[in-house]
A and B are shown apart, each in its own frame.
Chain A
């Protein structure tokens, strides 16, 4: 007779721990202090102020970084304007291309250094910064370099003119990659750039500034200035900026749209998300489970397109949930520099507090919480991968972007029901579908209102592939042919 299956359990809690395998920090030379990269040089801030950037894995200070004020922003914009008018705009496109190729190549050469610094500054596992962030960032430059002298083929019957000076503000979840997403297409289309990395993760952008120096890019074409919200606001409000490109929260995106109202500034906004990931009963379940893990726990869940809302067809819910729990048991949370770490440090104290707030809300809403049975390091900001079941569509944890390793699961019965629920959100950045049936895939991918839809996979990115949202997830696309649109005037 059938065994009481519900008592069966694979033993992972006692599973062998792997000996520490830390990546060497030797490759990562971090200066004690970083100035602003303006007009090809590192310049002391007019603000005379600096702030510390810390390693979220152990709360230790890594470096002091200049805090740009409005005067510094103005200086950077002037440098960018000057470079635009005098050099970059006039340069033959094919030469522009070669500069961008150079940047890509130097990034590849200095890949390990960039990866280690990315992990130290941001808390993401070295496996991800080494295998994903850095190579994808370099590939992005490489991809857009080639577009510079081919724009006529991208826009039939129109001439693509650069916009001028682009102000770019990027988040802390993929610091170097987002810098690449912003800078590469802007340069390829003939714009110059003032870029501000996030205040908790400025170091790889500053390394990129050094790489740009090394690549001999004409001074002022790319300016990288550091600071927090006020610096960002100064960029957004600067009258001589033609374009704002922002990746970050929907709230700030709305503020930016308001701030540029009444100006001629163009904008692209890549904002929040609350992606539905849908598993049908005929799906390849083990790959779907892995896709869910990858979808929500990649980069500690600090991913705007994270598959944070899981919908499972009710007939396979038990199986999926058990497999998710088994997989959770084998995820290694800890030192981001350890090559075996799956989930690193939460980027900041503030973000950890936000996540904890939502965990409390979830419990208060009556959802059932399951946390991975792992131990967390004593120091640093860490969060166990967490799954909520018994969640309603109206639960806040199923509606609001948590931006952490927190998954909610709901079950569904029919295609129409799950479509309605999946689309029932102000966001529309991404979605996932898992089924073995081709016709069902296309029904779902066509009707899901989201800018990126992954079928039988999740969280895949590529320089050639446009990325961006519907609805409150923002507008404009980054990556691919469509990513060029954001930086040109068609005449």
Chain B
């Protein structure tokens, strides 16, 4: 277990400072020790559950060269996607969308409309797929679940004090449990970026693990909020922590922070997924979210997915777009491909 040395070091430092007679220090130590033991238990449980034989030292996550990763991402955008490949790509894109509304002003009525849209993207165009899921706040899960009944469309709910994550763990867990009880099939959690940036990787790891436990059968998407992590090195490290802690998906952004998803960030995360797959045999899903509103960009993401993870990931079990306005642009492009005429926005319904 590679994590052991770090933990052992923690133990040593506790032992050393334990020689101080100060009661206050002892209380602090006690807390530290408790945290450590808890982390150890969580770690062992995760590893047993996931059949992972060791945990890496996350401070040693691979380094990313910024210029290199951006060049690679730019190269992917050079792929020219035409004709049937384009149509197939657009249809697949629709099928991968997590149609999202995450507004303070959301109402049951609005959520119902969105669910209708999810099921009937454009009925005049025959053979369209539905989107993958509708993504809402926990309070709207029940409404969405009902509206989508029988459609096969999943209900995803953000949880864990989305979008900031600034709440105690108990609140995050009950937030998650509530969403699951209401019928959420998928939970989109946010990581504690502040703790992560402080280097409290164990805290972040344990929190994800705890939420995963609270999810029960629901699939867990872990939002890294890459716009707040800033560097690719950190994106990679956060991806590794999330995957080892039990994420089913890793997701770029809440959509509330700019920049949200970008191609290079997604590339870093896809490569992390690939490395994790090679190490553990486990597939992890990917969800870029925020800022993807054009078909062309969506197709770039699919090319990237196709060339980094291959065919097994090219479906909505393993890849999602978190987007609200992408669907309409895809529909416009599909109509253009079908009719050969450039389309106008007014001909596509907004919900």
Contacts and interface: CB of A to CB of B under 8 A. Distances in A.
Does A touch B (CB under 8 Å) in the complex?
yes
A287 B68 contact: yes
Given A19-B85, A20-B82, A5 B311 contact: no
Interface string A1-38: 11111001011101111111100000000000000000
Interface in B274-310: 274, 277-282, 306-307, 309-310
Nearest to B312: A11
A5 B310 contact: no
Chain B interface residue count: which class?
Answer: 35 or more
A457 B70 CA distance: 12
A18 B54 CA distance: 39
Contacts of A477: none
A282 B82 CA distance: 40
B84 A456 contact: no
Interface stretch (B22-30, B58-66, B164-172, B247-255): B58-66
Nearest to B89: A16
B310 to A, nearest CB: 4
A21 B82 contact: yes
Contact of A8 (B52, B62, B68, B278): B278
A216 interface: no
B63 A131 contact: no
A339 interface: yes
Chain A interface residue count: which class?
Answer: 35 or more
B59 to A, nearest CB: 13
Contact of B306 (A16, A131, A282, A284): A16
B14 interface: no
Interface string A91-126: 000000000000000000000000000000000000
A322 B314 CA distance: 21
Contact of A2 (B62, B80, B277, B280): B280
Contact of B69 (A1, A20, A283, A286): A286
A287 B69 contact: yes
B271 interface: yes
Binding site secondary structure of chain A: loop
Contact of A322 (B54, B82, B83, B278): B278
A18 B81 CA distance: 7
Given A16-B85, A287-B72, A131 B78 contact: yes
Contacts of B53: 1-2
A474 to B, nearest CB: 28
A15 B303 CA distance: 10
Interface string A275-287: 0000000111111
A33 to B, nearest CB: 33
Q: Which of A284, A340, A456 has the most CB of B within 10 A?
A: A284
A11 B65 contact: no
Contacts of A5: 278-279, 281
B124 to A, nearest CB: 25
Contact of A291 (B51, B68, B82, B83): B68
A287 B314 CA distance: 24
A5 to B, nearest CB: 6
A238 to B, nearest CB: 44
A450 to B, nearest CB: 21
Contacts of A15: 306-307, 310-311
A4 B62 CA distance: 22
A100 B274 CA distance: 50
A290 B306 CA distance: 16
Nearest to B81: A18
A284 B278 contact: no
A7 to B, nearest CB: 9
Nearest to B280: A3
Contacts of A127: 78
Contact of A290 (B71, B82, B281): B71
A328 to B, nearest CB: 11
B112 interface: no
B219 interface: no
B88 A340 contact: no
A365 to B, nearest CB: 30
A19 B83 contact: yes
Given A8-B277, A8-B278, A286 B82 contact: no
Contact of A1 (B51, B80, B88, B307): B51
Given A3-B281, A11-B311, A290 B51 contact: no
B39 interface: no
Q: Which of B68, B79, B279 has the most CB of A within 10 A?
A: B68
Given A8-B281, A11-B312, A339-B80, 6 more contacts: A12-B311, A15-B306, A287-B68, A290-B68, A290-B72, A456-B67
4 shortest interchain CB distances as A-B pairs: A3-B281, A287-B68, A21-B80, A339-B80
27 contacts: A2-B54, A2-B280, A3-B51, A8-B277, A10-B309, A10-B312, A11-B311, A12-B311, A15-B310, A16-B311, A16-B314, A18-B79, A18-B81, A18-B82, A18-B85, A19-B86, A21-B81, A283-B63, A284-B68, A286-B62, A286-B64, A286-B68, A286-B72, A286-B271, A287-B69, A339-B79, A436-B63
